[in-house]
Copies of this chain bind each other. A is one copy, B any other.
């Protein structure tokens, strides 16, 4: 059976060139970067090279602004809670959006439990928040704005540059979760005007278990875990050297390929959107029609439930994901889908298809062939369906 992986927003395969670099630091070079002897110095060199690769890819002015973490989630915890705790004297108000990943929202919830006040900006029908909304939410107690660059579920790209200007004018620290945007659209910390930016290796053809936090020089911040002096005292624990090396290589490659991949994949994306909407009635495109990630397509199919659809496509060799409550075993469907105004019922029927660099025209053809009968079959089973 044909195998088509269309779930690159969940995770990506590791690029063979990335794996090759990484494996050297598993099998051969095993030193601890904190060791002074030659085994250690070799590891240290590899870590600092990777730090430079990350700094270069996102336009940081120095490698001192990059700290490696174990995931996008840990990076978000460090960015948000590290700024909040360090700036508590100044104020206790944080602004974020309803579009954020749970890594950001759960940190904000925790901060609320600890006495901070959080404004969660609502989304428009496309999943956007505006700089204007941010500006209006700022008070003299606001210490942090955290708005994601691109959304994982609906692909919408936020106006980070404009929000960055508002943040700067108001002298508020600004973090963006760039886990989904890095390697897909241009990400430059100066152009975006952010103080902190977080990213994750396994979304850009690197391994799982590695991420990074960019922190602009001079940003008031404190660590959230405690131990040795690694990562310039920002993040203790023996460094995941192989993962760090892999992240450096992965982000370098992703940046190099970005333009060409985006061109090709956005062609597929637009074809998928057009044909699915044409072929399958009662279908809603979620997210912004144009202003979205080049590899990202997402729909809601009325009258059906996402997990069933996902399993049926899986039986046809196709990997996609759904924001249905049932896929997560929770009772609530994705908070992003309800935040853009969809009813829970409609949100249950969501599908997210995220392409990657190894996908081909044939994968698209195959999906377009397989999907309509799956939807039809599920609708025939559904008591909600008219037909």
List chain A positions with a Cβ less than 8 A from chain B.
5, 7, 10-14, 16, 19, 22-23, 26-27, 30-32, 34-40, 70-74, 76-77, 101-103, 106-107, 109-110, 200, 202, 207-211, 224-229, 236-243, 307, 310-311, 313-314, 319-322, 327-328
Contact = CB atoms under 8 A, between A and B. Distances in A.
7 contacts: A10-B32, A19-B23, A37-B311, A37-B313, A37-B314, A102-B227, A211-B237
Contacts of A236: 73, 102-103, 106
Contact of A209 (B40, B200, B239, B320): B239
Total copies of this chain within the assembly: 2
Contact of A227 (B32, B77, B209): B77
Contact of A208 (B23, B37, B76, B238): B238
B38 A238 contact: no
Contacts of A109: 226
Please indicate which of the listed interface residues A16, A101, A225, A243 has the most CB atoms of chain B within 10 Å of its own CB. Answer: A225
Given A209-B243, A314-B37, A74 B226 contact: no
Contact of A225 (B73, B210, B243, B314): B73
A157 to B, nearest CB: 22
Contact of A36 (B14, B74, B311): B311
B227 A106 contact: yes
Contacts of A209: 70, 209-210, 238-243
B19 A226 contact: no
Contact of A39 (B74, B102, B242, B319): B319
* Closest 9 A/B residue pairs (Cβ): A209-B240, A70-B70, A71-B237, A73-B237, A106-B226, A11-B32, A73-B227, A103-B227, A37-B314
Contact of A237 (B19, B72, B237): B72
Most buried by B among A22, A107, A211, A238: A238
Contact of A30 (B13, B70, B101, B211): B13
